[in-house]
Structure 1
Amino acid sequence: MKIAQIAPLFESVPPRLYGGTERVVAYLTEELVRQGHDVTLFASEDSITSAELVPCTPRALRLDSSVRDALPHHMIMLDKVRERVDDFDILHFHVDYLHFPLFQSESNRALTTLHGRQDLADHMPFYRRFSHMALASISNAQRTPLPGANFVGTVYHGLPLNLHTPRFDGHGGYLAFLGRISPEKRPDRAIQIARAARLPLKIAAKVDKADEAYFRDFIAPMLDGGGIEFIGEINDNTKSEFLGRAAGLLFPIDWPEPFGLVMIEAMACGTPVLAFRCGSVPEIVEDRLTGRIVSDVDEAVRAIPELLGLDRIAIRLRFEERFSAARMASHYVKIYQKMLRARAASQLQLSALKASFSVANEHGLEPASFPAVGEEN
Structure 2
Amino acid sequence: MRIAQIAPLSEAVPPKFYGGTERVVSWITEELVRQGHDVTLFASGDSETSAKLAACTPEGLRLLGYRDHTASHLAMLHQIRRRAHEFDVLHFHIDLLQYPMFEDLNHKCLTTMHGRLDVPDFMPVYRTFTGMPLVSISDHQRLPMPKNANWLSTIHHGLPKENCPFYPEAKGGYLAFLGRISPEKRPDRAIEMAKRSGVPLKIAAKVDKADQDYWDEVIEPMIHHPLIEYIGEINEEQKKDFLGNALALAFPIDWPEPFGLVMIEAMSAGTPVIAFRNGSVPEVIADGVSGVVVDTLDEAVEAVHRVKTMSRAGVRRHFESGFTAEKMVHKYVSAYETLLASDGNVIQLPAAAAFAPQYGDLNGSSRPSLTAAAMPA
Aligned pair count reads 345
Residues 8, 344 of structure 1: alpha-carbon distance in 2 compared, 3 angstrom cutoff: closer
Question: Is contact 2:40-2:54 (8 Å) kept?
Answer: yes
* Structure 2 residue aligned with 1:357: none
* Structure 2 residue aligned with 1:92: 91
Whole-Å separation in 1 of the counterparts to 2:296 and 2:28: 35
Shift of 1:125: 2.6
What secondary structure sits across from 2:135 in the alignment?
strand
Whole-Å separation in 2 of the counterparts to 1:287 and 1:95: 32
Question: Is contact 1:267-1:273 (8 Å) kept?
Answer: yes
Shift of 1:342: 1.9
Question: Is contact 1:5-1:93 (8 Å) kept?
Answer: yes
What secondary structure sits across from 2:57 in the alignment?
coil
Question: Is contact 2:186-2:254 (8 Å) kept?
Answer: yes
What secondary structure sits across from 2:100 in the alignment?
helix
| 2:240 corresponds to 1:240 | yes
* Structure 1 residue aligned with 2:204: 204
Show the 5 A alignment for 1:244-259. 244-259=244-259
Question: Is contact 1:175-1:201 (8 Å) kept?
Answer: yes
Whole-Å separation in 1 of the counterparts to 2:139 and 2:155: 9
Shift of 1:299: 1.1
Letter in 2 for 1:242: F
- Structure scoring higher RCO (CA < 8 A, sep ≥ 6) equals 2
* Structure 1 residue aligned with 2:181: 181
Letter in 2 for 1:293: V
What secondary structure sits across from 2:46 in the alignment?
coil
Whole-Å separation in 1 of the counterparts to 2:281 and 2:225: 31
Shift of 1:148: 2.5
Shift of 1:289: 0.2
Deviation readout 1:221-241 (Å, 9 max, x if unpaired): 001122111111111111011
* Structure 2 residue aligned with 1:365: none
What secondary structure sits across from 2:91 in the alignment?
strand
Deviation readout 1:182-221 (Å, 9 max, x if unpaired): 0000000000011100011000011111111111111100
Show the 5 A alignment for 1:34-73. 34-65=34-65, 67-73=66-72
Deviation readout 1:316-366 (Å, 9 max, x if unpaired): 1111111010110010000101111122999xxxxxxxxxxxxxxxxxxxx
Question: Is contact 1:272-1:308 (8 Å) kept?
Answer: no
Whole-Å separation in 2 of the counterparts to 1:240 and 1:303: 23
Letter in 2 for 1:82: R
Question: Is contact 2:133-2:344 (8 Å) kept?
Answer: no
* Structure 1 residue aligned with 2:226: 226
Whole-Å separation in 2 of the counterparts to 1:121 and 1:59: 31
Whole-Å separation in 1 of the counterparts to 2:46 and 2:308: 40
CA RMSD of superposed structures (Å): 1.3
Letter in 2 for 1:124: M
Question: Is contact 1:12-1:59 (8 Å) kept?
Answer: yes
Letter in 1 for 2:273: V
* Structure 2 residue aligned with 1:374: none
Question: Is contact 2:150-2:345 (8 Å) kept?
Answer: no
Letter in 2 for 1:301: V
Whole-Å separation in 1 of the counterparts to 2:345 and 2:222: 61
* Structure 1 residue aligned with 2:134: 135
Whole-Å separation in 1 of the counterparts to 2:158 and 2:322: 8
* Structure 2 residue aligned with 1:296: 296
Residues 318, 344 of structure 1: alpha-carbon distance in 2 compared, 3 angstrom cutoff: closer
Question: Is contact 2:7-2:41 (8 Å) kept?
Answer: yes
What secondary structure sits across from 1:327 in the alignment?
helix
Consecutive unaligned residues of structure 2, counting only runs of 5 or more, are 347-377
| 2:329 corresponds to 1:329 | yes
Select between 49-58 and 145-154 the one with higher mean Cα deviation: 145-154
Letter in 2 for 1:88: F
Shift of 1:68: 3.2
Residues 336, 196 of structure 1: alpha-carbon distance in 2 compared, 3 angstrom cutoff: same
Letter in 2 for 1:322: G
Whole-Å separation in 1 of the counterparts to 2:111 and 2:77: 13
Show the 5 A alignment for 1:11-30. 11-30=11-30
Whole-Å separation in 2 of the counterparts to 1:159 and 1:214: 31
Question: Is contact 1:139-1:259 (8 Å) kept?
Answer: yes
* Structure 2 residue aligned with 1:80: 79
What secondary structure sits across from 1:111 in the alignment?
strand
Letter in 1 for 2:141: Q
Shift of 1:124: 2.6
Structure index of larger Rg: 1
Whole-Å separation in 1 of the counterparts to 2:183 and 2:53: 36
Shift of 1:69: 2.1
Deviation readout 1:35-74 (Å, 9 max, x if unpaired): 0000000000000000000001111111223x23211111
Question: Is contact 2:9-2:44 (8 Å) kept?
Answer: yes
Whole-Å separation in 1 of the counterparts to 2:118 and 2:77: 26
Whole-Å separation in 1 of the counterparts to 2:161 and 2:298: 35
What secondary structure sits across from 1:84 in the alignment?
helix
What secondary structure sits across from 2:343 in the alignment?
helix
Consecutive unaligned residues of structure 1, counting only runs of 5 or more, are 347-377
Whole-Å separation in 1 of the counterparts to 2:122 and 2:148: 12
Whole-Å separation in 1 of the counterparts to 2:342 and 2:298: 51
Whole-Å separation in 2 of the counterparts to 1:7 and 1:284: 24
Deviation readout 1:1-24 (Å, 9 max, x if unpaired): 000000001111000001100000
